[in-house]
A and B are shown apart, each in its own frame.
Chain A
Amino acid sequence: MLHLLAQTPALPLDEAGKYVAAAYGVFVTILVVYVAIIGARFARVERELNELADMAEEHDELGQREPEHVA
């Protein structure tokens, strides 16, 4: 791997390098921010799903207790 990297041409990171780095940096930043937003959204979905699971369990418990109460 190191041998392969040594064979690759050096990147001319002079004056132009900062513009190229900025352009690709913008792209990566937008991508990372977007993925973070989607991640936060999925975390919210997971929280809501847990709430609904609790709600369903409570409902089932209520359903089991209900006939005894009526009787």
Chain B
Amino acid sequence: MVFGNGLRALALVTAAALALAMGLIFFYAPLEADQGFVQKIFYLHVPLAIVALCGWVAGGIFGIQLLRTGDRKWDYRSYVAIHMSLIYGVAVLLTGSIWAKASWGHWWVWGEPTLVSFLIVFLLYCTYQPMRFSIADPEKQGRYAAVFAITAGAFVPLNFMAVRLATPLVHPRVFTRVAGDLPGSMRLTWLVSLVAIALLFVTLCKLELTSKSAKDNLRRLRRRLEARDEAAAERAFVGAN
């Protein structure tokens, strides 16, 4: 399994996209009339949340592929997508709390369905790694983790829809058909930011996959070399006697 192909080009494109997004956020997008400068967090927080949720769903899809084909590369992909989404999830919760404090005066609002539902999904996925690594047999580990990823991955869009149907308390619904939509410059900035954050996700996933695959290949190589050494020592012992 080789996961590192095209990593350098992808990293360069990601860096360029992130630089462009930061430039647009701070020097192009106008200040929002209601929240002012604090609204700049929106261009970071919302793409992070969307990409994290998509990553969890992707983890489920890769889990399906593992169960269909039995190919271990899907297990790697499922694990890494979920792992990276957890890291993004931490960033979502922290940036969201900072934004909440700045605009509502509270770090967290327990009555708000959007916040609490994201926390529930995040906590659900926090159980993935302990569950996965409590199983020693790699075959079984992959299959059980895939079942978890599929079940939890199906829960993510359901949860998202339930939140959209619920009445918001304080969290804004920006992309709706009834409320006012984003003006062109803000929309463009947000879209570039979303692409940059998504590219960063893919780049980090590729990096993690490369590291994981390199580690596993090294382990295999070590086992083979040790077996060869043992065989050579045995031959030398038999030859000496």
Contacts and interface: CB of A to CB of B under 8 A. Distances in A.
Q: Does A associate with B in a complex?
A: yes
Interface of A: 8-9, 11-14, 16-17, 19-20, 22-24, 26-27, 30-31, 34, 38, 41-42, 45, 48-49, 52, 55-56, 59, 62-63, 66, 69-70
A69 B240 CA distance: 8
B185 interface: no
Contacts of A16: 36-38, 102
Given A45-B214, A55-B225, A19 B98 contact: yes
Interface in B190-241: 200, 204, 207-208, 211, 214-215, 218, 221-222, 225-226, 228-229, 232, 235-236, 239-240
Interface stretch (B40-48, B56-64, B175-183): B40-48
Contacts of A17: 37
Identify which of B45, B94, B204 gathers the most chain A CB atoms within 10 Å of its CB.
B94
Given A12-B37, A42-B211, A26 B95 contact: yes
A15 to B, nearest CB: 8
Secondary structure type dominating chain A contacts? helix
Given A9-B27, A26-B94, A20 B40 contact: yes
A8 B28 CA distance: 9
Nearest to A18: B102
Contact of A30 (B38, B90, B218): B90
A59 B231 CA distance: 11
Nearest to B211: A41
B106 interface: no
